[in-house]
Each structure stands twice: as C-alpha cells, then as structure tokens.
Structure 1
Amino acid sequence: MGIMEIVIAIVAFVSGGGLTWLLINKAWDARSRKIIREAEAEAEVIKKDKILQAKEKFLQLKAEHEKEINARTAKIIAAENKLKQKEAAFSQKMEEFQRKKKENDALRENLDQQLELVEKKSEDLERAHKRQVEQLEAISGMSAEEAKEMLIESLKAEAKTEAMSYINDIMDEARINANKEAKRIVLQTIQRTATETAIENSVTIFHIDSDEIKGRIIGREGRNIRALEAATGVEIIVDDTPEAIVLSGFDPMRREVARLALHQLVTDGRIHPARIEEVVNKVRKQVEEEMIENGKRTAIDLGIHGLHPELIKLIGKMKYRSSYGQNLLQHSRETANLCAIMASELGLNAKKAKRAGLLHDIGKVSDEDPELPHAILGMKLAEKYKEKPEICNAIGAHHDEIEMTSMISPIVQVCDAISGARPGARREVVEAYIKRLKDLETLALSYPGVLKTYAIQAGRELRVIVGSEKVSDHEADQLSADIARRIQSEMTYPGQVKITVIRETRAISYAK
C-alpha cells in the first residue's frame, strides 16, 4: 500500500468521524431541547398546582380566622348583654331597696307614734286603776294586799279540805287492795323465774395429767411460778394434791386468765418466764374478747337491742364479778327477767324495765371513779352512753341514792332485793373479803409510778409492780414503807400485810 492510500484512508476516517460527531451532536441538541421543553411544561403545571394549593390554604386560613373572630365577637356581645342585664337587675334592686327603705322609715315613724300613744294610754289606765283601788280600799277598810291574801287563804283552805277528802278516799281504797295485789304480783313474779343459787369461790382447781408437770410449772428455783404469779396476780398453790394445782385469788377474771394461760403453757410444753408473759398477755386479750361476746349473747337472750358497745362490754365483764358471793351477771339477768314480769303485771313497759334491770349494777364492774356509789356510777355511765332518762333514774335510785322519778325505778329496786334475798343466793362474808382486797390494791395503785398491784394470800401480801424508769431503788424502799404506813392507819385487817415492791429493769433490742 502506498502513502497516498494511507493518506486517503486517514482523511476518509477523519471525515467520517467528524460527520458522525456532527450528526450525533445535532441529534443530542434536538433531544435536549425536547427535554427542556417537557421540563418547562411540567414546571409550569407544578407551579400552577402549587399556586392553586396556596390559594386554597389561604382561603381556608382566612375562613378559620374569620370564624374565630366571629366566635370572639359573639362572646364579647354575650358578655356585654349579661353585664347589661346585671346592671339592669342591680338598678332594679337598688330601686326596690330605696322603696322599701322609705316604707320602713314611714312604718318606723308610725310605730313610734303608736308606741307613744300606747304608753300614754297605759299611764292613763294605771292612774285610773290606782284611783279605783284607792276607792275600793277606802270603801272596804283594807289594802289590796290584805284582800289578796285573804282570798288566797280562803281558796287554799277550801282546796285543802277537798283534796284531803279525796286523798282519804283513795288511801282507804288503796289500803284494802294494795297489800293483796302487791303480794300476788311479787309471788307470781318469783314463781315464774327460776335461777341457780351457786356461790362463787375464791379458788379454781387446774387439773393436770401427771404430777411431773408440777415441776415444770414451778421451774428452776421457782422462776416459772413467780413469773406466773407476777403476770396474773393470782396465787398458785402447788401441793401434794394429786393431778391438781390450786389457783387462789379474789378476782374471778384473774383466775380465768391464769387457768387459760396454764392450759396453753402445759399443752404447748414451753414453760419459761418470757413465754409465760407472752401467753398471759395473749390470754388476757382473749378473755376481753370473750367478755364482749358474753355481753352480746346476754343482750340477745334477753331481747335487748341498741346497747352501746361499751355497755355490752361491761355486761360481759359481770361474768367475772360477784356480789356478796352471787355471780353478778346471773344476778343481773335474773333481775331483768323479774322486772319484765312485774312491769307486765302492772301494765308498764316491760322492755324498758328489763333493760334497766340488766344495767342496774354496771357501776360495780366499771373502773371509773371508784369513790362513787355503784348506783350513781352506773347512772352516770348510762347517761354517758345515751340511755333514756327513766332507765338512768332506775339505775341510780335502786339503793335510794337519788329520788325516784319513774314507775320503773321502784320495780328495779324490788326485783334487785328479790334476786338477792333468795335462800343461799348471797354470802356477805365473801363480799366483805373481796372489798378489803380491792381496797388494798386501789390504795397502792394511787401512788405515782405504780403499774400494777396484786393482793394475794388472802390479803396477807400485797405485790406492787413499779416502772423502773419512774421509780428508783431508793424510792422503791420508801414506797413500800409509805404504803405500809397508809394501810396501817386507814384500813382494818387481821394479822399483818406484807408489802413487796417489785422493780425490774429490762433491756430489749431487735436484730433485723
């Protein structure tokens, strides 16, 4: 191949490439213009769409704004109308007030004039009355006071004569019928009520399965039995009596606490001072709950409703109290039944009589104000717990401490006497003994720092438990001597009384 051919080939190649580039460039320009036209058209559409959306949004916001402005305008108009109404009402009330004020002023003026007229007429009448009295005194020859006294004396004498005649007739009739009727009612009442005549004792027998338990109850060097006596206030006698331990104490409630505590300790098997105190406290709470249950059961049995919870508790406490050896709850139930029967026979309210009969001795079981007679204390308790006046009076008057004001009062007094007068129902020696022991405990309890007092060994020993933080060892010695001197000077007792003051310090901590 020659050079010419190569040159021709190169020229042809260059020419073809240039032509191709021109063709491609021309085609690309046409496509670019087309894309630009399409883009401009699409942009125009989008622009119109956005302008349309903006206009719609503007119209919407404008409508909402106008709506809000209208609402506010409406509220302002309503508030203005309300204010105008209040102003109109206030103006009307002010006019009414001014009008009434004028009327009141006119009325007051009129009343003042009438009062002046009345006072003037009263003075005229008084002067005329005085002139008439003076004329009558001059005619009769005696003063107005003398004439008044003469008339009163005359009427008094006449009324007294008629009253005495009427009273004599009634008394004659009453004498004929009263004794016969009273005997019939009392006998019928007694015959319709039956009751037990059991006498309260001052000891309780605790039975055990074997005599081996006695040693465990006594404990090493007597620690357990001393802890039991200190916790319960009951003397525990462990002697040669087979399979039995004697619990001695004048208070039946304490003996019951000691008996139940011993039963739990023996059943459980753990007997030591700390356990004894824990069981005694637990049993004491159980006995208090049982008192409430006994009170509720008694009220239900007798059909008495609406008693205050504190009165129910006091009624339940009667189970653990005796009156001259007679169980106080049994005596009160019997008195209540007797009162109901007697009130029915006399045509009175049997329910009220029964209620008063049940409550007549609640003062004996209350710890409040022991200096008061039990009838007065019971009346105050009944008043405190909203009992009716006639029931309160019957409670307070059943030993004649206050005057009887209702027919229920003598019925309660009579039925109380009937219940206590049954053969074998009471034993005054026991009551005197119990009163002496209670007086011993109360005397020692009156000293500051004393927590508990227990009279044991038939009143020959008085145990006084004091707070260690309130009474020192030296003060404990002084307290024992003071109590002994007071008992010696104020009380009557056989033999001698031993006063033991117990002061114990305990340090208690808890590991958590």
Structure 2
Amino acid sequence: MLYYILSILPLVIIVLSVMLVISSKKKYESKFGELSELELKIIDAKRRFEANKKELTREIEAFKKEENLKIKEEILEKRKELDLEIKEMKQEIIQKEARIVKKEENLDLKNAKLEEKEQKLDEARQKVKQKEDELQEMIDRQELELEKIAELNKEEARDIILTKLDNSLTHEKALKIKDYEYTLEREKERMARNVLATVMNKGASDFVVDATITVVELPNEDMKGRIIGKEGRNIRAIEAATGVDLIIDDTPETVILSSFDGVRREVARLALEKLIQDGRIHPTKIEELVDKATMEVEDSIYEAAEGAIMELGIPTLPKEVLKVLGQLKYRTSYGQNVLRHSIEVAHIAGAIAAEIGADVNAAKRAGLFHDIGKAFTHEQEGSHAINGAEFLRKFSKEKVEVINAVEAHHDEVEKLSLEATIIQIADAISASRPGARRETLTNYLKRLEQLEEIANSHSGIKNSYAIQAGRELRLIVKAEEVNDDEAILLSHDVAKEIEEKMQYPGQVKVTVVRETRAVDYAK
C-alpha cells in the first residue's frame, strides 16, 4: 500500500502544479481586464475635465468682461455726479464772492457816510465850544456888574441865593419825604399781604382733631376683667411692657391709655386691640403681641418720614433722622399733629422763599426739621428748638443756615440768615390759621378771663369784652376821663401787657372805643 502511494505521489504533485498554474492564469487575466476598464474611465474623466475646464475658463473670462463694463459704467456715473457737484459748488462760490464784493461796497459807502457825519459833528462841536466860550464871557461880565451894583462878591451872593432856595424848598422836601414814606409803607404792606396770601393758600390743610389720650373700645364689659387679670397681673404686664398707664373706670366698654409718649401709646393701642381680637390674655402673650406692635409702629414711623420727604421733594435722609422725624406722627402740640405741622411749615417756607428770592431748598428742610426736637422733649431737658439743632448737628450733614433756622425759630439764638426769619414766619402762619390748633374749654375760658383782667386793671375803663374767641379785646372807655390821645396810648399799653403776660396763638387785636354823646330834651 505504501509503495502504491509513493508511486502515484509524483503524478499527484504534477496535477496540483498544473491546476495551480491554470488558476493563477485566470486570476491574472481577470485583473488585467479590470485594469483596462479603470484606465478607460480615467482617460474619459480627463477628457471631461479638460472640456469643463475650457468651458469654465470661457465663463470666467465672460464674467470678468461683464464686471469690468459695469465698473466702468459706475465710474462714469460717479464722475458725472462729481462734475455736477463741483460745478454747483463753483457756481455757489461765485455767488458768495459776488455777495461779499457787494457787502464790501456797501461797507465802503457806510464808512464814507460815517466819516462825513464825524466831520460834521466835529464842526458842530467847535461851534458849541465857541458858543460856550461866548456865554461864559457874558456870565463873567454880568457877575462883575452884579458885584459892583450889589457890593457883594460871587460867594456871598451865592450863599444868599442858596439860603433862600433852601428855605423855600424845605416844606416841599418834607412833603415829598412824607409822601414817599407813605407810598413805601403802603407798597410794603401790599407786597407782604400778597406774599402771605399766596403762601397761606398753598399751605392750607385740614383741621386738626388729634387727642392727647387714646381710647380703646371693648366688645363687652367682661373684657375689662380679663384685661385686669388675676390679682391685676395682666394690666401690670401691659403697663410694664408698653410704659403706658391703663385707666379702667366706670365708662362702659372703654379703656383709656394715658402717656406723654405718643409712640408708646400707639404701641399699647395696637397690642391691646390684638389681645382683644386674639382672646388669649396672659403675660407671655402680652409680651409677644407688644413686640409685634412695636415692629408695626416702627415701620409706620419710617413710612411717615419717607412720605414727608417725598411730598416735599427732599432727598433721602440718614436713618436716625428718619426715625425721629417719623415719631412726630404720634406727637401733638395744642391738638396739632407735629409732623403735619412740620410739613405745612416746610410748604409755606418754600413758597415764601420762592416769592422773595431766598434758598427754597434750605427753607423747606429747615421747615421740616424745625420741631424735630419735640420727638424727645419728654426725655431730654431744654428747649425743643435747641435740642433739635443739636440732634441735627450730631446725626446729619445739614447746612449751618438750616440748623440755625431750627434753633432760632423761637428767638433763643440770633438769626444768621434770611431763611431763619422765613421759618419763624411760616411757623406762626401754620400755628395761627383757623382750625390749626385747639385748646381745652378750661384753658379757653381762662384765657378770656385773663384778657378781661388785664383790660380792667387800667383806669378809665367802662366795659371790656373778649370777642372772636379771644382774638380781639374791645375796651369801652369813659369819655370824660380818657381823651383821644390817651385812648391811643391805652391800646398800646394793653397790647404790650398782653404780650408780656400771656401765651396765645396768632395775635390779639386791642380796640379802644371812646364815645361822646350830647343829650337834650324838648319840652
């Protein structure tokens, strides 16, 4: 078997070699065919590329020619436009040159006329000088002749003439001066009246009805016992937390809060209303609601201050100043709300300053701050004007004029500016206008009695009447004891005594009436 295999092995090798050669030849022939097709495709692509290249070259050349034509046409158009503009400019220059030449000719004519007028004027001056010389010579000759006739020299004659002239004009000068003074006084009165009328119209505001105590309404009478609490612990807690006295009397369903500090009184009012609404009244809840009410009042203080400066057009102020200014919302003076009064004074002061040409901004700021010291008068001794000025010096950067106007509006220091006088006037206007302030019935009756006492203390008084709510004191004198001149002096003396002994808003008019009657009977 092995022999058989070895004998046919060469034959198998030969057959395999032949098959390998045949397969290789077939592969070579197939590859050669593919290569020929690829070469044909490459040749065809080259031919198309050359054809496209030539076509593209022709299109590019045609586009270049077309664009060159367009550019040349645009250049020609621009050149035409420039030529037209240059032509117009040349024409305009020619016209201007012609106008200039014409103006120069007119100026030359005017100069020639002026020279001619000056020459004539010189001739006239020479003639006037000649006449003056001749007149002076005539005067000198006449003076010499007068001196010879009167036997007086020039100085003596002049003194005599001037003395006579002065004597004759003295009466006329007195009349002129008196008439001028009367006219000036009347004009000053009219101007002052107009200015005050203008600013009072601008500063008019609502009547004031603020009270110095606060009344809280209760839903029922049983609430009084709950507010007082066991052995009075609740009412003591409220008074300790707020610093306000609670007055619980026989008035049905009412609790009165009393305190000199309006801010504390407002905190107590809010806290008490919250306690009544909540219903749970005990020391812990009282402290909690007092804290909430304090925060609400502080917010309202800042809102009131910011509203005031916004109303007056004043820029923002330091936080310390805003806080104290807002506290004036809860302060009253003679029943007048101090913050509204300050805003009103600022408006009036600004209007007066605008009318007379003063610093409007300084007047407004001083008017707003003039009573700022009233926010802490219950805590600090001294005048509210001085305290307010010291506070502004410490916490603000106000001008010296503004601070001086604040501390001088009650004449406690000297006024250094016109604005200080304006603030004093505006404060008096705001305080004395009808409805601005109110007083208790007791104080009102006391003031009327004091007016009549002052009037009756003088001799010659028959009757005295305080009328027009104490704004006028009318005196009826005995005609046989008081003459007309003494009546004038009596009104002046009574007015001075009222100024020295009494305090009152606005002014008090003193009228003295002297009546003489002649009576007879027909029988």
TM-score by length of 2: 0.47
TM-score by length of 1: 0.48
Which protein, 1 or 2, shows the higher relative CO under an 8 Å CA cutoff with sep ≥ 6? 1
